[in-house]
Amino acid sequence: MRWRIPVVAVLALFVAVSCQDVPGEPEATPDTPLFSAEVVNYSGGFTDEFDFLIPCGGVDEWGHFIIEGKWRASETYDANGGYHFRNTLVTNGSGVGEFGSVWTIHEALPTTAYWPPDAGDYRVYNDHVTSMWVGKGHAPSWNDWVNYKWTMNANGEVTVDRFSNRTECD
């Protein structure tokens, strides 16, 4: 499905950013606590291409889409040592269907994550995708909303795995 590409991209980005040594990340010394009110910011961009089946219009039509995205992320540690990550991904693009239909795409994907202090591998991830697909001429338009929550306990077991998707055709 089309929504998996941005979700997977953001989760991969999150893992890459959270696993590297980051300038400004607090270092433990005898005189320094392992937390910081300092916020470390990141940003970047990307281009992606994908194909998927158009969900509206009553005709089985595949579309080929190219999107450009910009992301901005921040991370910080709270006073208790909990790690907080926020990411906002915004994409814009266009696509052409196999029968000549044309669309523009506008999408927002905010992601949050939290790792409590001293909780082992406990993690909480939340993604909320809002997509607006605008058809030109006779091409159908639609809005799409995807929500995803994933929680892992200290033993590395997924304890919450919620997904919802709603598409409204215009």
What are the pLDDT digits (tens) for 75-108? 988 888 888 999 999 999 999 999 999 999 999 9
pLDDT at 72: 93
Identify the residue with better confidence: 95 or 170.
Answer: 95
pLDDT at 87: 92
pLDDT at 65: 96
Render 124-149 in DSSP notation, one character per residue. EEEEEEEEEEEEETTS--EEEEEEEE
Percent of the chain with pLDDT over 70: 76
Residue 154 confidence class, pLDDT cut points 50, 70, 90: confident
pLDDT in tens, 25-39: 333 333 434 445 678
Structure tokens at 100: 């000549």
pLDDT at 29: 36
CA distances (Å), origin 66, targets 28, 51, 56, 61, 79: 44, 9, 19, 17, 42
What residue ranges in 26-138 does DSSP mark as E strands? 40-53, 62-77, 83-97, 102-115, 123-136
pLDDT at 170: 87
The model carries a pTM of 0.68
User: Which of 131, 107, 132, 128 has the alpha carbon at shortest distance from 46?
Assistant: 107
